[in-house]
């Protein structure tokens, strides 16, 4: 069975494609390589191209007998989206509409959509639940919410079966498939880079949030747990289960300063860092209620403890003797 994985050369996509291959499925990766890495896509056929190319996507569906899509391709940084909303609407909204057009034309009715915790904005609850009001604080979050709201209409018109997974803060590595530390925007690789990779001191954005230590609190979920959620969501839609939105997270909050402390402890040296003002679009706290995914997908995070996340990044092969490779 062949599964189209859009953005499959990216961070989450590589881990997902590897797991699909190990599970007996054939991941067909479509990626425009804006941020993806071609050299780590050896788990199935790879095609360089864009989801907005309807003719290309239709041809891939026919040639590889695609039965379902895991849609991971997106522009995905909150801060960047605040200064480039045009790019986020073009890539995330218009690109997804083109993908859905191709799927409908080729009668592909199964979709796992990578959404984001950014749809919640500054949630008032201690653990965000899928049924609570969503008020995005960034164009990135809004772009994901627009697609979530579109999916029921595609269900009504074309019989689409779908699951939208609201990923919280994905982190960690599996073997050598971590993120490049230099230039990475995610907090754990940036902290490791600052500690032992020769990178610049880490900027801590916001120190007066309403959190225990004043720094931003997020819910960090290991990338291997996210890949497993994607696989289980594929089985869910294949079984004809009701369309649903589900949080994918650890269900535990961790602050930026806690990450700095843990990286410093494991690295054996303090992490150079400096304090800066909070960025626009960043809520103070984002933690998930993951009870729905536990129940509906029979899924649970097994690798998402902070100690393990930091350890897998430190030993991902991107560092040797403290030097970036």
Phi-psi region of 175 (alpha: psi -120 to 50; beta: other; left: phi over 0): left
Q: Which of 11, 120, 140, 167 is catalytic?
A: 140
* 274 neighbors 201 (Cβ within 8 angstroms): yes
C-alpha angle 128-179-188 in degrees, rounded to nearest 5 = 50
Radius of gyration (C-alpha) of the chain in whole angstroms: 19
- CA gap 262, 136 in Å, rounded: 30
Burial class of 306 by CB neighbour count within 10 A (0 to 12, 13 to 18, 19+): buried
DSSP state of 322: T
Active site residue 140: yes
| Two tokens, residue 211 | 């959190």
- CA gap 197, 174 in Å, rounded: 19
DSSP state of 28: E
Burial class of 256 by CB neighbour count within 10 A (0 to 12, 13 to 18, 19+): buried
C-alpha angle 195-198-199 in degrees, rounded to nearest 5 = 80
* 31 neighbors 73 (Cβ within 8 angstroms): yes
* 38 neighbors 48 (Cβ within 8 angstroms): yes
- CA gap 125, 284 in Å, rounded: 12
Report the SS3 class of residue 4.
strand
Long-range (24+ apart) CB contacts under 8 A made by 119-122 are 119/144, 119/145, 119/148, 119/166, 120/166, 120/283, 120/286, 121/283, 122/283, 122/284, 122/285
Q: Could you list the active site residues?
A: 140
């Amino acid at each position: 069975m062949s599964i189209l994985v859009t953005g499959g050369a990216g961070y989450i996509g590589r881990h997902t494609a590897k797991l699909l291959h190990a599970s007996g499925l054939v991941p067909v990766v479509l990626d425009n390589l804006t941020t993806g890495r071609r050299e780590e896509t050896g788990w199935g056929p790879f095609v360089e191209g864009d989801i907005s190319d309807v003719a290309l996507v239709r041809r891939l569906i026919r040639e590889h007998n695609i039965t379902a899509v895991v849609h991971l391709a997106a522009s995905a940084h909150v801060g960047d989206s605040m200064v480039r909303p045009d790019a986020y609407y073009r890539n995330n909204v218009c690109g997804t509409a083109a993908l859905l057009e191709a799927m409908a034309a080729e009668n592909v009715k199964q979709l796992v959509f990578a959404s984001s915790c950014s749809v919640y904005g500054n949630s008032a609850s201690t653990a965000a639940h899928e049924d609570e009001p969503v008020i995005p604080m960034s164009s990135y979050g809004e772009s994901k919410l627009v697609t979530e709201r579109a999916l029921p209409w595609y269900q009504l018109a074309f019989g689409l079966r779908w699951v939208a997974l609201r990923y919280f803060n994905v982190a960690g590595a599996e073997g050598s498939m971590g993120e490049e530390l230099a230039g990475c925007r995610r907090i754990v690789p940036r902290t490791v880079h600052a500690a032992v990779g020769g990178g610049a001191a880490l900027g801590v954005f916001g120190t007066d949030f309403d959190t225990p230590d004043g720094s931003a609190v997020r819910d960090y979920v290991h990338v291997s747990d996210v890949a497993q959620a994607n696989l289980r969501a594929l089985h869910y839609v294949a079984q004809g289960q009701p369309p649903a939105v589900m949080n994918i997270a650890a269900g535990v909050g961790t602050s930026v300063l806690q990450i700095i402390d843990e990286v410093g402890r494991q690295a054996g040296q303090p992490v150079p860092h400096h304090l800066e003002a909070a960025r626009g679009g960043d809520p103070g706290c984002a933690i998930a209620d993951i009870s729905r995914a536990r129940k509906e997908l029979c899924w649970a995070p097994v690798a998402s403890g902070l100690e393990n996340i930091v350890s897998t990044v430190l030993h991902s092969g991107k560092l040797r003797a403290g030097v970036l490779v």
